[in-house]
Structure 1
Amino acid sequence: MLFPRTDRWRCQLQRHHIQLYQGNRLQEQQSWQPDMPLAEQLDHMLSHLHCRLPWQNSIGFELDTPHISYLLTPWSQGIVTPAELRQYTRKLLAEQHGTAVQDNMISFIGPHYGANAFAAALDPSLFNELKAAAKRHRLRFRGCSTPFSRMLGMFGNTLPSEALFACISKDEGNFAARYQGRWHSIFSLNLPTGESVRHLDIANLLVGLPPLERYVMHTQQETSILKKQLPPAGTKLLS
């Protein structure tokens, strides 16, 4: 072929699994091994990717809890630059965890000046380890993201004014609520086995808001599908 196909891989790190996707299709999955170094687990999964031309294919890493931390950064009038907002977020994160996190990489999901920020924090040592894994397997490194980044990216620059977003995996769910055009609450829940509708009802109740439209992504499935669920009943797929 004159122009060989370029594959874009996505490696998803969750609490219990590591998954490898091509597009939105799951290609391989392995259980997380707490006693095995992450580098060895990644090498085992990425060793199956063969390419005739080094650096032709690329890989990005999508991190979910506990590999990344989510938090809400309330807007403060004293903050005027992105660097100040990141430092303020690190301060809030340190207060939540009771440890210093001065070096954590901070990114904001769907940020808007003058409004509460949806923040994601990543340990730079993990970022460097993932970058090194891509380099070992001669894959172009596309950086790190979160399931929320992918989910909210489907809406472009216009997010619903009032909605409950949920990224749900096995035994765990991460939730982000918007109300009156602003981020209101961001939190995680341990979920017993059951239907996601019930979990969403509980999450909506916990944030203390009127019933919100729900947007749900199950992150541990053969394919990643975003669903819109209308409270309290009615479900339809988003195109």
Structure 2
Amino acid sequence: MSLLSHDRFVAVLGGSAVGLSRQGGNGKGRDWLGSVSFIGERFPSWPLAIDTLERMLREHVRGRAELCVLLSSHYCRFCLVPWSEQIVAPSELQEYARFCFEEVYGQSEESWSLCISPEAAGQPRLAAGLPEELLGALRALATNLGVRLGSVQPYLMTAFNRFARSMPQKDYLFVVAEPARSTLLLSTDNRWGAVRSLGVADSDEALGELIARECELRADEEGAVALPVYLHAPGRVDDTPQLADVEVLSLELPHPGVRDVLYSMAMAVN
């Protein structure tokens, strides 16, 4: 039987809460089922997020369903993987990406699964590190509840894919400002130049300083020109950021009365 006739759930694992939406079978409208907070001071906090998600799904899942999961940047790590002519096989690319990952973050007792962006020959790639234990817990959860785990991806990827057509230039800075953490993607000459994720407030003042520092780093490079800056701040529903020379990218939400950052993030999924 086709999954098109079953419910599709989109779960957002935030740094201190889990949100859940449901789209009925056969393309019916998407319902926001709400969010549940947890105390995320313990590290790692993802086990609390998984427990919270399980309780929410047990309440709402009826019959077969598909589950798609968006991960806040609080759970992800990112790095740039430069092009190398010596890499000729997927296994070699994984090893090379892991080397680049450990150059940035060092070796860790925690295992990380690396997702690497597909790029043309000669282009650097982006790598996103997701905790292996978190992924395993999601797979086990889906199996226990009898749902199909469709995809697990960082919200950064979801937001970029949603707004890519709004950034036609080959050179730009794209900033995703979640509450308490921002991630920056730099594109130069139509190729990835840098990716950084930092703990920072999503206030105008904090974001203005963050963007200014990034632009200063760029200005130090030979022949660098001023970059267009695009900002997506899903938590700033009521107070759109007001920053000079920054274009704010926002979603038109089907239920504008809902004031929940996780709702805004869930609606980024097409």
Give yes or no for TM over 0.5: yes
Quote the Cα distance in structure 2 between the aligned partners of 1:5 and 1:221.
34
Give the length in aligned residue pairs. 229
Aligned to 2:54: 43
TM-score by length of 1: 0.78
Asked if the contact 1:168/1:218 (under 8 Å) is kept, the reply is yes
Partner secondary structure for residue 128 of structure 1: helix
Q: Secondary structure at the match of 1:205?
A: helix
Cα distance change of structure 1 residues 193 and 73 upon mapping to structure 2, 3 Å threshold: closer
Match of 1:172 among 159, 165, 181: 181
Encode CA deviations 1:29-81: one digit per residue, 9 max, x unaligned. Answer: 22233458434222222222132xx22x2111111233221111111221122
What SS does the corresponding residue of 1:71 show, helix, strand or coil? strand
Closer, same or farther in 2 for the Cα pair 1:64/1:4, shift >3 Å? closer
Indicate the structure with greater helix content.
Answer: 2
User: Which among 230, 233, 238 is matched to residue 215 of structure 1?
Assistant: 230
Per-residue deviation, 1:144: 0.8
Give the direction of change, closer, same or farther, for the CA distance of 1:25–1:164 in structure 2 (3 Å limit): farther
User: Within 5 A, what are the aligned runs for 1:80-229?
Assistant: 80-100=88-108, 104-154=112-162, 155=164, 160-192=169-201, 194-195=203-204, 198=208, 199-208=210-219, 210-220=225-235
Deviates more, 1:12-21 or 1:141-150: 12-21
Return closer, same or farther for 1:216/1:235 CA change in 2, 3 Å cut-off. closer
Q: TM-score, normalised by structure 2?
A: 0.70
| 1:178-225 deviation line (CA, Å, top 9, x unaligned) | 011110111012223522762434433344453322333334477xxx
Q: Go from structure 1 to structure 2 and tell me whether the alpha carbon gap of 1:187 and 1:138 turns closer, same or farther (over 3 Å shift).
A: same
Tell me the distance in 2 between the aligned counterparts of 1:11 and 1:188: 22
- Paired position in structure 2 for 1:33: 39
Structure 2 counterpart of 1:15: 15
Residues 171 and 191 in structure 1, CA contact (< 8 A), matched pair in contact too: yes
Q: Secondary structure at the match of 1:72?
A: strand
**Aligned residue type for 1:16:** S
Deviates more, 1:181-190 or 1:209-218: 209-218
Query: Aligned equivalents of 2:77 and 2:180: distance in 1?
Result: 17
Tell me: CA distance 1:25–1:90, structure 2 relative to 1, closer, same or farther (3 Å): farther
RMSD across aligned positions (CA): 3.4
Distance (whole Å) between structure 2 residues aligned to residue 128 and residue 234 of structure 1: 38
Give distance in 1, aligned partners of 2:202 and 2:83: 36
**Contiguous gaps of at least 5 residues in structure 2:** 24-29, 253-270
Contact 1:177–1:186 (CA<8 Å) still a contact in 2?
yes
- What secondary structure sits across from 1:12 in the alignment? strand
Of all paired residues, the percent bearing the same amino acid is 20
Q: Which amino acid aligns with 2:54?
A: D
Q: Deviations over 1:14-35 (max 9, x none)?
A: 3232222346875322223345
Contact 1:104 1:123 (8 Å CA) reproduced: yes
User: Residue 191 of structure 1 aligns to a residue in which SS?
Assistant: coil
Q: Distance in 1 between matches of 2:90 and 2:79?
A: 16
Report if the CA contact (8 A) 1:176-1:186 is conserved. yes
Q: CA shift at 1:82, angstroms?
A: 2.7
